Amino acid sequence: MVTAVQPLPRAVSVRHLGPNWYASVMGTAIVATAGVALPVPVPRVLLAAVWALSLGLLVALLAARAVHWTHHRDQARAHLLDPAMAPFYGCLSMALLAVGGGALTVGRDWIGRDAALALDAVLFGAGTVIGLTAAVAVPYLMAVQHKVEAAQATPVWLLPLVAPMVSAALGPLLVPYLPSGQPRETLLLACFAMFGVSLLATLLMLPLVFGRLITGGPLPLALTPTLFLVLGPLGQSTTAVGKFADFAPGVVPAPYSEGFGVFAVLYGVPVLGFAMLWLAFAGAHVLRARRNGMGFAMTWWAFTFPVGTCVTGAEALARHTGLVVYDWLAVGLYVVLVAAWGTAAVHTTRGLVSGELLAGPRPAPVAPRPTTARTR
């Protein structure tokens, strides 16, 4: 006899919904914002539609996570105490910031400038506070509560440290809307300070990740896509210094305004060069993992936002160097971004429809009881 499976209550269905799901919002929003400055025109109505989708995803996830914290506090606490899950709280910050920045760049086409400005101001403020908090709280938990070992290091550890860099890259968009004088200069230099916070913290953490790869071997198959997360601080920092150079004239006095323009090139060129080296390195690991049977997991969203930051970084270098090669690098990376986003979105939708992605961990198979046989 076949027993019908009863649908799960709403509160139960989100029990295993972790903060890693915010990566889907980040990956969707960057598709919209990275397409704005490409040398090949992309229809703005299409980019605005993608941004609207990211806004809808953000609202839905915030509501679902609120239900999660209300009905499953034990699981939410377990996420905070899990060194593999806690760093994903940085994704909440970056999701808020990515959607807010997209409001001013493409969302304004649909909701108007004033609404876009208000939305970005709220999301930037909330995302920055959450990001700075996560940048301190998560490493603190890892040091005093998680008791992690060097062999456990993965690029996921970078997530809370990258969040302030996203604030640094997107904060300058709000500078022209502040009163001239000290308010504008304060915000721009605050973004520059967050650039330093994130950069120096990343430089402390990245050697642990690379050292684990060299001494411990490849990551487990499901975690292999997280190697692309290293591109995040590289591409986003290149984007940030480009934004500082864009908005510094008239905001900070000379010679500092000119210095930002010089710094955008002297910093951005070698860092984006290293990002391309890491892209090849991470891509080789992913191809190996795929040949060894790597299937879809939510870690595939690591192929989206970090690549998108390299697109915006290449666009920034194209503006400040005038080199066509960076224009075409941005186009090539954007093609990779769109393909990765489409693949991750399709698999995620299938997993949601089937319920597989929100299902709990599968119980370990029960070993059969030993039996004895009578022998003659």
Percentage of residues of the chain with pLDDT beyond 90: 80
Q: Which residues fall within 8 angstroms of residue 150, CB to CB, at 6 or more apart?
A: 208, 211, 212
- Looking at residue 277, its amino acid is L
Q: Residue 249 — φ and ψ, nearest 5°?
A: -55, 125
Least-confidence region, from 46-50, 111-115, 145-149, 289-293:
145-149
Confidence of residue 75 (pLDDT cuts 50, 70, 90): confident
Closest CA to 120 of 192, 82, 173, 63: 173
Higher per-residue pLDDT: 359 or 272: 272
Confidence of residue 360 (pLDDT cuts 50, 70, 90): low
User: What gap in Å lies between CA 50 and CA 54, rounded to an integer?
Assistant: 6
Q: Tell me if 331 sits within 8 A of 40, measured CB to CB.
A: yes
Q: How many CB atoms lie within 10 A of CB 149?
A: 9
Question: What's residue 7's pLDDT?
Answer: 42
Question: Mean pLDDT throughout 239-247?
Answer: 97
pTM score, whole prediction? 0.90
Q: Tell me if 237 sits within 8 A of 198, measured CB to CB.
A: yes
Residue 219, token pair as written in the block: 């990551």
Residue tagged 């034990």 (tokens): 74
